[in-house]
Chains A and B, each alone.
Chain A
Amino acid sequence: MDPFERRLSIDGRLVTRREALAQAVTERAVELVMSALDLNALLDQVDLNAVLDELDIDRVLDRIDLDRLLSRMDLNDIVKRIDVEALVKQTDLGAVIAASSSGVAGDVLDVVRSQTVGLDEFIARWIGRLRRRPYTGPPGPPDQLRPRAGP
């Protein structure tokens, strides 16, 4: 290869004139072949069931690193996108929750606690107004310090 041969830039890469020509010819050839091919007809001829029969799904699954896959997914973001309230209203999940939760005493407890929390927020909002500091909800520790919560 002649190191002093003049080079052209293709896709941010410096190549020789011959290489550039070869690339252009190849691209054009592939384009012509693809336009001549009827992919739908080709796919019609493929027996997908036979292909799937040949596939060893277990082997494929063994090769997938689920931990790595999950580490790349933001599960918290996915969970936040779920409208749990709509889910409860529209599915049997509501009945499951109702059946598994406590009775009248538990309901009264929920209401008492909710009302007191509402009062907490009312007071905190007023304190925020007096201090001219916007109140953005109950403060909590950083996630790494988040305590184990109980019932």
Chain B
Amino acid sequence: MTARAGGAPPVRPPVIARESLQGKYTGFASRFAAFAVDMGVSLGAFMLALAAISFAARVLTGTDIAWNKGDIWVIIAYAAWAFIYFAHSWAASGRTAGMALFGLRVVQDDGTDVSGRRAVVRTLALPLSFLFLGLGFAGILLGDRRRALHDVIAGTAVIYSWDARAARLRFLSRS
């Protein structure tokens, strides 16, 4: 095996990164990827919490707790946790962990930060977008403002918040 001289060549960002995207409405792939990461994070944290509770119960009482994913209480507990995860993240900073990873942010219609009330409404309306085979997400693909149903209900939009042009300049400065 031979080592590559000078390390791996930097990956060239796509042409779109020439333009600063800050403030532009986010496309489908970025939003889907961010949501997938959020689901992973929230589900992972929830399962860790269940494991911690099981461990504590075994240590303290000597009884094993068997969590059944079909159990209604588990589903309710996860729904409550997911609500807190999304609503708190959007109200506090306008972004969840997945959105921060992909450089996205939720803002109100007028471009200002999302209020707590709108964050709660957006979280509650999120499941509605999944109804009818996810028809509520069609607005991201077809709408001029790339808004899903829960965005329309809550009066919000999702924008790119990372500076693609600065990223390209960083890339150029190293190449």
Contacts and interface: CB of A to CB of B under 8 A. Distances in A.
A23 interface: no
B102 A113 contact: yes
B105 A147 contact: yes
Contact of B171 (A110, A115, A127, A150): A110
| Most chain A C-beta atoms within 10 Å of own C-beta, residue among B27, B112, B165, B167 | B27
Interface of A is mostly: helix
A113 B16 contact: no
Contacts of B164: 113-114, 117
B141 A123 contact: yes
B61 interface: no
Nearest to A110: B167
* Residues of A in contact with B, size category: 35 or more
Contacts of A88: 169, 172-173
Interface of A: 84-85, 88-89, 93-98, 101, 106-107, 109-124, 127, 131, 137-141, 145-151
A66 B103 CA distance: 38
Question: Which are the 8 A-B pairs with shortest beta-carbon distances?
Answer: A120-B27, A94-B173, A114-B13, A147-B111, A149-B22, A118-B14, A119-B29, A110-B167
A13 B11 CA distance: 69
Given A150-B105, A151-B161, A113 B111 contact: no
Given A138-B21, A147-B23, A85 B159 contact: no
A151 B100 CA distance: 9
Nearest to A113: B103
A149 B166 CA distance: 13
A149 B16 contact: no
B101 A109 contact: yes
B101 A146 contact: no
A146 B109 CA distance: 10
A117 B16 contact: yes
B166 to A, nearest CB: 8
A85 B117 CA distance: 43
Given A85-B169, A98-B173, A151 B28 contact: no
23 contacts: A84-B169, A94-B172, A101-B170, A101-B173, A107-B174, A109-B101, A109-B103, A111-B13, A113-B164, A115-B14, A117-B21, A117-B30, A123-B28, A123-B141, A139-B25, A140-B159, A141-B145, A146-B111, A147-B111, A148-B113, A149-B160, A149-B161, A150-B161
Contacts of A145: 109-111
A124 to B, nearest CB: 6
A138 B101 CA distance: 20
Contacts of B19: 137
A149 B173 contact: no
Nearest to B15: A118
A89 B19 CA distance: 18
Nearest to A93: B173
A107 to B, nearest CB: 7
